[in-house]
Structure 1
Amino acid sequence: MVDTYYKAMNWNKLEDVVDKATWEKLTSQFWLDTRIPLSNDMDDWRTLSKLEQTVVGHVFGGLTLLDTLQSQDGIEAMLKDTRTQAETAVFNNIQFMESVHAKSYSSIFSTLNTAEEIEEIFDWTDHNEYLQKKAETVNNIYQNGTPLQKKVASVFLESFLFYSGFYTPLYYLGNNKLANVAEIIKLIIRDESVHGTYIGYKFQLGFNELSDDKKEEMQDWMYDLLYELYDNEEKYTNELYKGTNWTEEVMTFLRYNANKALMNLGQSPLFPDGNAEDVNPIVMNGISTGTTNHDFFSQVGNGYLMGQVEAMKDSDYDIGLNDDSSNENNGGELFNKIRKLK
């Protein structure tokens, strides 16, 4: 018998059922930006003031940078620390979709903006102090952190930091504007919901293997990081939305999603006003509305291809793993939760 040099992936004999559940969920909701008729939003775009158009452009520039970071460095860093072969496959899927997300914003730019405006957007993105600080803080952890620290940084990025940008298209959707742009954002949010839940689950598996002292040390580090990121995000949000009256509402939305990120990691919420009822109901309505079904013959929308995009419920994040529970039981519980994510 020859010794095994390289092990074939056997999806019929899994170490963690959550890997398969996540793979099936992610592949079932596959999408591409080229199937969304963004040009249908041009009439809405022309009704926005110059300030509003600038805010939208900078919002999507910032989101492009974060998705680029996640696709080029974040997932690559976590791939070095996977627990199972199937987990590696799931991360490969996540990495590809993060590239799809980043590319989608360029599709929006090429539809709505002139070449000069696009140049300005990327110049602003590449030189904004607080946006670059955000990327540097997270990437330093990807490059130098422990496996658990990398997962915390990733969950904070996907479940919290993106939402200063997501607020804008959801706000316009709630006001019946830029519906096709919002379709792309809702598809991205749907992906990020699964990414955050899955990576948070993998964090919890490792966290529960720590001693009590190491758990406390990790929690202190985690909350310190959240405070650091929140402080920078407040400055970023103030600059991003300068000239509008949205800043406070965006910060409330951020606190809501920061609590969601902590729930993904199995930790206690931090912000007392981080509840759904504290968020602008127009934005919450936008995030929970099903996708638009476009004309099947002339234009195909994601409502036709992928079904409904729905909001995450508080219970979807309630996946805390008990120290005395078996891996199998925990996996079965999250298997059902991931299958329910829309």
Structure 2
Amino acid sequence: MSVALLKKAKTMEPRFPNKSTKVFGGESSGILNWNDIKYPHWYKMYKRLVGNYWQADEINMSADVKQFPMLTQSEQDAYLKIIGLLSTLDAPQTRTALLISLYATDPSVQSIMAVIAQQEAVHNESYSYVLSSVVSLKEQNEAFQLGRKDPVLLKRNKRLIAGYNQFVEEPSIENIVKTLVYTALLEGLFFYSGFAFFYNLARDNKMVGTSTMISYINRDELEHGRFISELFRATLAEYPELNTESMMEWVYQEFRTSVELEMEWSTYVLAEVEGIDLEQMQGYIKYRANKMLRLLGLSEIYPEQVENPMKWIRAYVDNIDGTKTDFFEQKSRQYTKTSDLNGFDDL
């Protein structure tokens, strides 16, 4: 049975209406009027995304430069491995966001995905920036090789890589829906044990520059996950033939598998790090999975983990539920522009 592949959206087609008939596989002129789009509240999402603009080299890393050699060996190893992980995840996201936009026939989706792609590029640049601040070029390059060589990381990313590549090879509506699920997993689950490591350092006033940068990335990823979840729900509403019991069971199974892989990775990378309770971390991973499933319009699969067991994390990042945090207070305290790369003028 052959798979019906979607064609890339035309750049301009004046015969079609400005308001797209579908997010994928629909008809649209290509003209974007934010006051005449199919899902009007997506304009607010676009505005939130562009309002999050930041640049990596505006974050002052001078204190981190001095502190990194004073971290324990376990902390240094985890720092490098987690930066390697984050770069492995964010680098493909720039391309994936652009690929999704190529097949989106709704111009509002194209614009939002363009902003997401730009932010993912900034995230990836920021990992190079922080590593260049604290370690040699040789150690930087070794950290960026982990995504290709570390067996635990390769195992953890295998399904995600296969799913993304399947979308490239067969851009069907079903594979786009599955890519949106993998993207939601990446944006909403796969980053979070790594983020927690940096916030744990910041609790002890260690590597606060890195933690501040991570909190900006985290804030972006929360918004990305929110939009991708909405795009998933809109696509299923427009293609009800895909909204089947078997598709939903596939989603649940991917979440279960991803949770197991994330818990295995977090144990591997954080076992020797002081201050992180691995049992709490596993609960936090399940909590994040429940949260993303709710955003996708699905049911929780870990009823014992509806509450965040690591509530202290809220002090370091915006919360997607709208919980008030001290993020902006932290911004004024820590987001100090520097006059040169990595803050060396301040040493």
TM range (shorter): 0.7 to 0.9
1:138 positional shift: 1.4
Query: Is it true that 1:62 corresponds to 2:85 in the alignment?
Result: yes
Q: TM-score, normalised by structure 1?
A: 0.79
**Which of the residues 139, 143, 149 maps onto 1:127?**
149
How far apart, in 2, do the equivalents of 1:119 and 1:218 lie?
Answer: 40
How far apart, in 1, do the equivalents of 2:136 and 2:304 lie?
Answer: 40
Q: TM-score, normalised by structure 2?
A: 0.77
Tell me, yes or no, if the aligned pair for 1:58 and 1:125 is still in contact at 8 Å. Answer: no
Tell me, yes or no, if the aligned pair for 1:77 and 1:150 is still in contact at 8 Å. Answer: no
- Cα gap change, 1:171/1:298 in structure 2, threshold over 3 Å: closer, same or farther? closer
Query: Is it true that 1:96 corresponds to 2:114 in the alignment?
Result: no
Amino acid at match of 1:292: K
- Cα gap change, 1:128/1:84 in structure 2, threshold over 3 Å: closer, same or farther? same
**Which of the residues 215, 219, 222 maps onto 1:193?**
222
Q: What secondary structure sits across from 1:37 in the alignment?
A: coil
Query: Is it true that 1:14 corresponds to 2:37 in the alignment?
Result: yes
**Which of the residues 54, 57, 62 maps onto 1:31?**
54
How far apart, in 1, do the equivalents of 2:283 and 2:47 lie?
Answer: 33
Amino acid at match of 1:289: D
- Cα gap change, 1:275/1:174 in structure 2, threshold over 3 Å: closer, same or farther? farther
1:197 positional shift: 0.6
Query: Is it true that 1:184 corresponds to 2:213 in the alignment?
Result: yes
Across the aligned residues of Structure 1 and Structure 2, the Cα RMSD in angstroms comes to: 2.5
**Structure 1 stretch displaced more, 45-54 or 160-169:** 45-54
Q: Could you say which residue in structure 2 is the equivalent of 1:271?
A: 302
How far apart, in 1, do the equivalents of 2:97 and 2:183 lie?
Answer: 8
Amino acid at match of 1:177: K
Query: Is it true that 1:82 corresponds to 2:121 in the alignment?
Result: no
Q: What secondary structure sits across from 1:60 in the alignment?
A: helix
- Cα gap change, 1:31/1:295 in structure 2, threshold over 3 Å: closer, same or farther? closer
Aligned residues: 296
Q: Could you say which residue in structure 1 is the equivalent of 2:312?
A: 282
Query: Is it true that 1:106 corresponds to 2:128 in the alignment?
Result: yes
Tell me, yes or no, if the aligned pair for 1:200 and 1:265 is still in contact at 8 Å. Answer: yes
1:232 positional shift: 1.9
How far apart, in 1, do the equivalents of 2:110 and 2:34 lie?
Answer: 12
Q: What secondary structure sits across from 1:292 in the alignment?
A: helix
How far apart, in 1, do the equivalents of 2:336 and 2:188 lie?
Answer: 36
Amino acid at match of 2:118: F
Q: Could you say which residue in structure 1 is the equivalent of 2:24?
A: none
Q: What secondary structure sits across from 2:262 in the alignment?
A: helix
How far apart, in 1, do the equivalents of 2:258 and 2:46 lie?
Answer: 30
Q: Could you say which residue in structure 2 is the equivalent of 1:254?
A: 285
Query: Is it true that 1:292 corresponds to 2:341 in the alignment?
Result: no
Tell me, yes or no, if the aligned pair for 1:67 and 1:101 is still in contact at 8 Å. Answer: yes
1:196 positional shift: 0.6
**Structure 1 stretch displaced more, 79-88 or 166-175:** 79-88
Aligned 1:288-327 pairs, distance under 5 A: 288-290=325-327, 291-294=330-333, 299=338
How far apart, in 1, do the equivalents of 2:308 and 2:34 lie?
Answer: 42
- Cα gap change, 1:43/1:252 in structure 2, threshold over 3 Å: closer, same or farther? farther
List gaps (5 residues or longer) in structure 1: 301-342
Amino acid at match of 1:110: S
Q: What secondary structure sits across from 2:198 in the alignment?
A: helix
Amino acid at match of 1:162: F
How far apart, in 2, do the equivalents of 1:9 and 1:286 lie?
Answer: 36
Tell me, yes or no, if the aligned pair for 1:55 and 1:241 is still in contact at 8 Å. Answer: yes
1:212 positional shift: 8.1
Tell me, yes or no, if the aligned pair for 2:84 and 2:145 is still in contact at 8 Å. Answer: no
Q: Deviations over 1:254-292 (max 9, x none)?
A: 11211111122111122234344422x433333343223
**Which of the residues 39, 45, 59 maps onto 2:68?**
45
- Cα gap change, 1:271/1:8 in structure 2, threshold over 3 Å: closer, same or farther? same
Q: What secondary structure sits across from 1:278 in the alignment?
A: coil
Tell me, yes or no, if the aligned pair for 1:61 and 1:121 is still in contact at 8 Å. Answer: yes
Aligned 1:152-191 pairs, distance under 5 A: 152-191=181-220
Q: Could you say which residue in structure 2 is the equivalent of 1:117?
A: 139
- Cα gap change, 1:213/1:67 in structure 2, threshold over 3 Å: closer, same or farther? closer
1:87 positional shift: 0.8
How far apart, in 1, do the equivalents of 2:239 and 2:337 lie?
Answer: 56
Tell me, yes or no, if the aligned pair for 1:69 and 1:135 is still in contact at 8 Å. Answer: no
**Structure 1 stretch displaced more, 41-50 or 215-224:** 41-50
How far apart, in 2, do the equivalents of 1:298 and 1:196 lie?
Answer: 28
Q: Percent identity?
A: 22
Tell me, yes or no, if the aligned pair for 1:174 and 1:285 is still in contact at 8 Å. Answer: no
Amino acid at match of 1:243: E
How far apart, in 1, do the equivalents of 2:240 and 2:336 lie?
Answer: 59
- Cα gap change, 1:264/1:298 in structure 2, threshold over 3 Å: closer, same or farther? closer
